[in-house]
Structure 1
Amino acid sequence: MSNCPLNVAKLIFCWRCLFAAVFNSAFLMPYIGSQPAQAQEVNQSCQISAAEAQEKDKLRLSALKGEQEAQNRYQQMLRQNAQTLQECRSRNWPQVQAIWLRLYPCDTQAGEIERIMDRIVNRGYNQVYLEAFYDGQVLLPAANNPTAWPSVIRTPGAENNDLLLKAIQKGQERGLKVYAWMFTTNFGYTYAQRQDREGAIARNGKGQTSLYVVEDGSQVFIDPYNLQAKSDYYQMVQEIMRRRPDGVLFDYVRYPRQAGSDSIATKVTDLWLYSEGTQQALFQRAQNNKGLELIRRFLSKGYVTAGDIGEVDKLYPQEGEPMWQGRMPPVAQTPAPGQAQAASTGQKPPTQQKAIIPPQQRQPQLQSELWQLSVAHAMQGILDFVNLAAYPAQQLGIPAGVVFFPDGNQTVGQGYDSRLQPWDRFPSSLEWHPMSYASCGNVSCIATQVQQVLSQAKPGTQVIPAIAGQWGKSINGRPPLEAQMQAMRPFASQLRGVSHFAYSWQDPEHDNERKFCRTQ
């Protein structure tokens, strides 16, 4: 975790979507003709032919029935597919093509994880972002879950089923890299139901938690400065890292998204600063008594008056300007009484100095700086939390990444996006996964978001945009994936990878089957 002081004066926010990869498989809408040029595109997409995919699935089903010859042929085909996929992706952009995947309790059925991973390989993907912690539940076996959250798999008789470990291993057997994808500061509704964790929940100055501001009531954001919350999350990351995924991605690295006028934070009571951990950490940023008292008053009332400043001057007459981390008070001042005389006589000036600029003149600047301190403190909590969360992975040499909205840190006038997602300050040692989900009826706004992130990333930062959609058709007003990928082609030299949200969008029929155990 960073212990560096905040330089609030430097809190500056700056603002700035394929090659034709057309799939022709049993799982996607037919989209390919018979012309030679299109046949070449099939090769470039790194997909497996429909006939080969069908043959592989038949072998899988026969192997499930215990047929040894089918099992041998199936394993041989898996190895061949893995090698072909690796060679194809190394020759064609993007070198990393990933897909986001959620598993369900029904996926514990024999052969189901294999079926899912086979279908992912068939479509030319070489990475999977597997949801390991979401909606207040964790993908660990119920019989071996020491975390503060319930297990995703709570089916009687399946207490020892380690679906996370199995999915990682089955993916890796097929040449896939499998990342654990985790919610971060959104701990979920189940966490909020624990009375012993009440103090860990983030609160704003209106007496609200995120349960009151998020429409579905399922998102519970925590105080990122709370020691219990940090300990709970750290333990969970360690448990997930014991399964040795190929990477870990942290999602919801932010505060709640609010609606309407509340979508922009314009005053301190809009910020999630009112839980004990965050407040105490904020008070510790004060560097003298005057600074501490003004921070307290600003947090309590939402503003400071000239009268407050005058009262604080009288309370601590021995101190100069109110000070806190990052504050650089005005330099040009008239010498206080005794200073000029001391300078002319060579005597040591008195140590006790009074503020010499009238409180009325100092109030606008102090109020503005207290607002900037409050915003920066809220953002620093997010940065410190994700750095702590990534540490267990980094110790093991496992790549870690952050998932964010490119517009999650924007300013509007004197206000800030309510999510306060400081992605432009995420370290370059983490992979950056911008959710480029802009919707404007075409691909231009998606490309703009990607370009914006690339312009902010420091050299060496690995940027892997996430785009949402389906192959071959528009969905929810979003252009087909091939159009979005084409829009990113100009950035190919800067983008080694792209991810697609989500498996459930690409194969909704199979997704519904899996939810209700209607597979095989």
Structure 2
Amino acid sequence: PKHEVRAAWITAVYGLDWPRTRATSPESIRKQQAELIEILDRLKAANFNTVLFQTRTRGDVLYKSAIEPYNSILTGKAGGDPGYDPLAFAVAECHKRGMECHAWMVTIPLGNRKHVAALGKESVTKKKRAICVPYKREYFLNPGHPQTKEYLMSLVREVVERYDVDGVHFDYLRYPENAPRFPDSYDYRKYSKGRSLAQWRRDNLTEIVRYIYKGVKAMKPWVKVSTCPVGKYKDTSRYPSRGWNAFHTVYQDVQGWLGEGIQDQIYPMLYFRGNHFYPFALDWQEQSNGRQIIPGLGIYFLDPGE
């Protein structure tokens, strides 16, 4: 790569990073936009060159979509129009500062019952009931249903066609952790063709990744496609993942994706220290197949003085 990637996730869930202000008047719209500008100015001053801007959270979005409603964090109510397009604004402001802007989209989880109820008839659980499943008081898209990849691609298509994004970045493209009772037995019987449940689930996620990757490249070959998988792929020869890994726990065969060339970058969520970080970061790098590996850092581990 010509440049190292220095990226930050800008989180809209609960307004953790942005926005703090609700856009309900011309004055508050300006204030909401100014909050984002301040974050981008600080990132630019600190030599960041890539912004992963949260564009979809749990079945709701931060752009003008024909498919899913606006996130309530923008205005205080689900589906409320903030009076401008946050994604278009973010892309323009990043580009003014010479920074890449990637649309960060949470893929599989759709939120808890309360959240789904707040979206009402605009929720995908109402519009596309066949591809949604309840599990442990939450709703999820069903990776085992063949139409799930098409639904996700319809959202990606809106973003890639209509916005000058530099990348699309997928979060939670996985099964819920330790999901022995995830309700997909019907689909497994119908589609597994003799594969084990674990292999079938891994293949389902790989097929979603492959389908979206090819779809994006057919539209705009220069748009980077990436994922933030669980930080440890699986046990390495010298260090165990202590039962928390992408391959076995959440069915992400990420090194398979890299080997097949259906990712441009990955941002493994390596929120660990010492031997739980370095050997696993090295393992990703050794298996990268020339793709960019950008370790996601748990900077909450830093001393406040740092």
Q: TM-score range by the shorter chain?
A: 0.7 to 0.9
Q: TM-score, normalization: structure 2?
A: 0.75
Q: Which residue of 110, 128, 138 corresponds with 1:197?
A: 128
2:168 aligned counterpart, secondary structure:
strand
> For residues 134 and 188 of structure 1, what CA distance do their matches in structure 2 show?
9
1:221 aligned counterpart, secondary structure:
strand
> For residues 392 and 244 of structure 1, what CA distance do their matches in structure 2 show?
16
Q: 1:92-103 to 2 correspondence within 5 Å? A: 95-102=4-11, 103=18
Q: Higher strand share goes to which structure? A: 2
1:95 aligned counterpart, secondary structure:
coil
Q: Which structure has the greater CA radius of gyration? A: 1
> For residues 425 and 221 of structure 1, what CA distance do their matches in structure 2 show?
24
Mapped pair 1:250 → 2:170: yes
User: In angstroms, what is the RMSD of aligned CA positions?
Assistant: 3.2
Mapped pair 1:378 → 2:201: yes
After TM superposition, give the deviation of residue 227 of structure 1 in Å. 4.1
After TM superposition, give the deviation of residue 456 of structure 1 in Å. 2.6
CA contact (8 A) 2:9 2:52 kept: yes
After TM superposition, give the deviation of residue 120 of structure 1 in Å. 1.3
Give the letter aligned to residue 164 of structure 1. Answer: L
Q: 1:25-64 to 2 correspondence within 5 Å? A: none
Give the letter aligned to residue 399 of structure 1. Answer: K
Matched with 2:298 is 468
> For residues 240 and 199 of structure 1, what CA distance do their matches in structure 2 show?
24
Q: Which residue of 85, 91, 115 corresponds with 1:162?
A: 85
> For residues 267 and 126 of structure 2, what CA distance do their matches in structure 1 show?
34
> For residues 70 and 22 of structure 2, what CA distance do their matches in structure 1 show?
18
| Higher RCO, Cα 8 Å, sep 6+ | 1
- Where does the alignment leave 5 or more consecutive residues of structure 2 unmatched? 12-17, 24-28, 236-240
> For residues 136 and 482 of structure 1, what CA distance do their matches in structure 2 show?
38
> For residues 438 and 412 of structure 1, what CA distance do their matches in structure 2 show?
12
Q: Which residue of 169, 172, 186 corresponds with 2:109?
A: 186
Q: TM-score, normalization: structure 1?
A: 0.46
After superposition, the C-alpha distances for 1:313-367 in whole angstroms (9 at most, x for unaligned) are xxxxxxxxxxx4xxxxxxxxxxxxxxxxxxxxxxxxxxxxxxxxxxxxxxxxxxx
CA contact (8 A) 2:51 2:100 kept: yes
2:108 aligned counterpart, secondary structure:
coil
Mapped pair 1:273 → 2:184: yes
Give the letter aligned to residue 225 of structure 2. Answer: A
Matched with 1:135 is 58
Mapped pair 1:399 → 2:233: no
> For residues 149 and 228 of structure 1, what CA distance do their matches in structure 2 show?
20
Provide closer, same or farther for how the CA distance between residues 197 and 105 of structure 1 changes in structure 2, counting only shifts above 3 A. farther
CA contact (8 A) 1:408 1:420 kept: no
Give the letter aligned to residue 251 of structure 2. Answer: L
Give the letter aligned to residue 203 of structure 2. Answer: Q
CA contact (8 A) 1:171 1:178 kept: yes
Matched with 1:447 is 278
Mapped pair 1:424 → 2:247: no
Provide closer, same or farther for how the CA distance between residues 105 and 239 of structure 1 changes in structure 2, counting only shifts above 3 A. farther
> For residues 480 and 234 of structure 1, what CA distance do their matches in structure 2 show?
41
Provide closer, same or farther for how the CA distance between residues 426 and 166 of structure 1 changes in structure 2, counting only shifts above 3 A. same
> For residues 376 and 482 of structure 1, what CA distance do their matches in structure 2 show?
46
Q: Which residue of 415, 437, 440 corresponds with 2:271?
A: 437
Matched with 1:48 is none
Q: 1:262-341 to 2 correspondence within 5 Å? A: 263=178, 270=181, 273-276=184-187, 278-282=188-192, 285=193, 324=194
After TM superposition, give the deviation of residue 412 of structure 1 in Å. 8.4
- Where does the alignment leave 5 or more consecutive residues of structure 1 unmatched? 1-89, 203-208, 258-262, 286-323, 325-369, 470-474, 484-520
Mapped pair 1:220 → 2:139: yes
Give the letter aligned to residue 422 of structure 1. Answer: D
After TM superposition, give the deviation of residue 114 of structure 1 in Å. 2.3
After TM superposition, give the deviation of residue 239 of structure 1 in Å. 1.3
After superposition, the C-alpha distances for 1:403-451 in whole angstroms (9 at most, x for unaligned) are 11133556989xx733122112113341121111125xxx332112201
CA contact (8 A) 2:169 2:228 kept: yes
CA contact (8 A) 1:97 1:125 kept: yes
